[in-house]
Amino acid sequence: MATSPQPGPGDGVARTNLLLGGLTLVFFALAGLLTKNLWGHLAPKQNIPLVDRKFLETTPWRQTYADLVKAKEDLSDYDCYGCHEKNKPPPIRYDANQKIVIPKEHSDIVMGHGSHDRNNNCFNCHNEANLLTLQVRDGRQVGFDNIPQLCGSCHGPTYRDWEAGAHGRISGSWDHTKEGQFTRLSCANCHNPHAPRIPTREPAPPPHPLRVPTPAAESAATP
Amino acid sequence: MSLPPPAPDKTSDAAMSRRSFLRGSAMFGGLTALAASLSPLRELSDFTNTEQFLQKYYKELTPDDMKQVLARIEGEVEKQYGVRPHVRDLKPMDGVEFVYCLNLTRCIGCRKCVHACVNENNQSRNPEIQYIRVLRMPHGSLDIDKAEQNYHPKQVPEPGFFYMPVQCQQCHTPPCVKVCPVHATWQEKDGITVIDYDWCIGCRYCEAACPYWARRFNFTKPEIPKERLNPNMAYLGNRPRKQGVMEKCHFCIQRTRAGRYPACLEVCPVGARKFGNILDPDSEVSYILREKRVFIQLKEEMGTSPRFFYYFDK
């Protein structure tokens, strides 16, 4: 037909019909494929578990004496004279290496404040004359609810940073001109006074990549 | 003399009817098949509606328009998630410019900020969209090319490594704003670079322009579980996004413009994150930039001048 120089009048109609028929067939085939979903959809989504709510917690990991008072909780741990005798400083015993022997009543205490045992004495901070208070080296007595004063007497730069808001945790309002709109955590909310180094913790899960990494890449990611 | 009634032209009529029959059936079949082949579009029916389609650019909305738009968004979110949100249009405050400081000495790489951010800002959980990327680098270097973000040890911090969370740096000269062809992203006067999610066309130029890999694209419809939806929303902030738009960290606009700290800061267990108004000389960020020994702006040589500073304690 293409070679014929002058196509007859019927050729155009026949060609149109052929074209329409062909198109119809194509559309029918397409419809069939789409309804049967023959070439499939995107790869199925991988199952990503929701992150554990413990990683969303904003509460500090320790409670201070002040927190316990505020929450009206059990303060029996701070009732020193329930066991100790008044006006009689508790004795401190040392082992052969000049390290403090922790009495079994206080077995939960780890003496880890300061390297090289430089802070190897209970009465650097506790007041032997009145166990219900703490003492600063210059003789001042501070209560259990006012620890930054005590800690700051040795850790001056850190105390300065903490007062300026650059050390430690703050929550609430960034506008500090509004009194009472923000909360500044105290030293003992994060640091255990007997072992102040912050312990290691479990990290939240890493991102889930769209492509599941091969075992080789995975082992490279783990140290 | 009367003419006989014209005999019906049987042949031509039969030829016409066959042709019209063929044509008709072809057209019918074709249209049916076309409709069937377009059926996947039905899934996109909630992709956009007329009201949203005709919505004006954020900066052209009058207060009355904005009221209607916020009501529409609240309605849409309630319909989709069954939770009635509180969507606000928070404007920047006078005399406030936000700055973020991050203490690299303190950060332990626990990734709590990453997930607090996702929870606050209604990011997609599957596929995951996270604004913060925590990079782990060996001590003694600051080579981002050698950083690892998929670390998963039993405990952090690991000896010999430090951690560097990277998120939107809220640059003074943001390259992402420069490349946007439709002005869907811009810098507000408190320093936060925001996105109008209803104006974004999803071209991803900004993602390519950002030297901090801070921008994220919604390749699929975001998936947020109802029970984790945060109903405190802002128009330029954490309202749920749709498929095909960009998103990124906006310093928790719904919190910070209402006077609160960002979510990543409040969750940080070691107090490594500091945030505040740099125009206030008594704020902690002013103190840090004034007093602390070293602070760096990530990729300082790019000339982007970030409002996000990294500093060290000792």
Q: Would you call B218 an interface residue with chain A, using a CB distance cutoff of 8 Å?
A: no
The tens digit of pLDDT for each residue in B211-260 reads 999 999 999 899 999 999 999 999 999 999 999 999 999 999 999 999 99
Within-domain flag for B16: no
Contact residues on chain B for A48, CB-CB shorter than 8 A? 125-128
Same domain membership, residue B146 and residue B84: no
- Residues near A204 by beta carbon (within 8 Å), at least 6 away in sequence: A51, A52, A55, B110, B111, B112, B114, B115
Query: In angstroms, rounded to a whole number, what is the distance separating the alpha carbons of residues A123 and B259?
Result: 43
Query: In angstroms, rounded to a whole number, what is the distance separating the alpha carbons of residues A80 and A66?
Result: 17
Q: Compute the average pLDDT of residues A14-30.
A: 92
User: How many C-beta atoms lie closer than 10 Å to residue A56's C-beta?
Assistant: 17
Within-domain flag for B20: no
Same domain membership, residue B302 and residue B163: yes
Higher pLDDT, B169 or A72: B169
Query: In angstroms, rounded to a whole number, what is the distance separating the alpha carbons of residues B58 and B254?
Result: 16
pLDDT at residue A138, rounded to an integer: 85
Same domain membership, residue B136 and residue B228: yes
CB contact under 8 A, B284 and A164: yes
CB contact under 8 A, B29 and A51: no
A with B: how many residue pairs have Cβ under 8 Å apart? Answer: 170
Within-domain flag for B158: yes
Q: Compute the average pLDDT of residues A34-40.
A: 72
Query: In angstroms, rounded to a whole number, what is the distance separating the alpha carbons of residues B17 and B31?
Result: 20
Host H or E run for residue B273: strand B273-277
What is the 8-class DSSP label of residue B105?
Answer: T
Same domain membership, residue B106 and residue B55: no
Same domain membership, residue B149 and residue B232: yes
Q: Compute the average pLDDT of residues A79-94.
A: 88
Within-domain flag for B39: no
Residue A99: name the closest of A79, A75, A119 by CA. Answer: A119
Same domain membership, residue B55 and residue B141: no
Question: What does the mean pLDDT of chain A come to?
Answer: 85
Query: How many domains is chain B built from?
Result: 2
Within-domain flag for B42: no
- Residues near A184 by beta carbon (within 8 Å), at least 6 away in sequence: A162, A165, A168, A169, A170
- Of B88, B116, B147, the residue at which a domain comes to its end is B88
Q: Would you call B286 an interface residue with chain A, using a CB distance cutoff of 8 Å?
A: no
Question: What CATH number should be reported for the domain holding residue B199?
Answer: 3.30.70.20
Å between A86 CA and nearest CA of chain B: 39
Instruction: Enter the tokens of residue B306.
Output: 């970030």
Instruction: Enter the tokens of residue B291.
Output: 């007093």
Asked if the model's pLDDT at residue A1 lies above 50, the reply is no
The tens digit of pLDDT for each residue in A99-117 reads 888 888 898 888 889 888 7
pLDDT at residue B39, rounded to an integer: 72
pLDDT at residue B14, rounded to an integer: 53
The answer to whether residues B193 and B170 touch, using CB atoms and an 8 Å cutoff, is yes
CB contact under 8 A, B126 and A221: no
Domain of B83?
Answer: 49-88
Same domain membership, residue B206 and residue B74: no
Q: Residue B71 corresponds to which amino acid?
A: A
- Of B58, B88, B118, the residue at which a domain comes to its end is B88
Within-domain flag for B7: no
Same domain membership, residue B194 and residue B294: yes
Q: How confident is the model at residue A216 (pLDDT cuts 50, 70, 90)?
A: low
Å between B68 CA and nearest CA of chain A: 30
CB contact under 8 A, B34 and A208: no
ipTM of the complex: 0.81
Same domain membership, residue B139 and residue B273: yes
Backbone angles phi, psi at B130, to 5 degrees: -130, 135
CB nearest to A205's CB, from B152, B270, B282? B152
Same domain membership, residue B81 and residue B230: no
CB contact under 8 A, B256 and A31: no
Higher pLDDT, B35 or A50: A50
CB nearest to B155's CB, from A168, A202, A221? A202
Instruction: Enter the tokens of residue A75.
Output: 């303060």
Asked if the model's pLDDT at residue A28 lies above 80, the reply is yes
Which residues of chain B fall short of a pLDDT of 70?
Answer: 1-16, 40-48, 294, 314
Backbone angles phi, psi at B227, to 5 degrees: -75, -10
A20, A174, A184: best mutation site toward chain B, by most B Cβ within 10 Å? A174
CB nearest to A34's CB, from B39, B256, B270? B39
Same domain membership, residue B157 and residue B208: yes
Asked if the model's pLDDT at residue A203 lies above 90, the reply is yes
- Residues near A202 by beta carbon (within 8 Å), at least 6 away in sequence: B110, B154, B155, B156
Q: Compute the average pLDDT of residues A183-193.
A: 93
How far CA A1 is from CA of A9, A11, A20, A22, in Å, comes to 12, 8, 18, 18
Within-domain flag for B37: no
Q: Compute the average pLDDT of residues A58-78.
A: 86
Same domain membership, residue B126 and residue B64: no
Å between B279 CA and nearest CA of chain A: 12
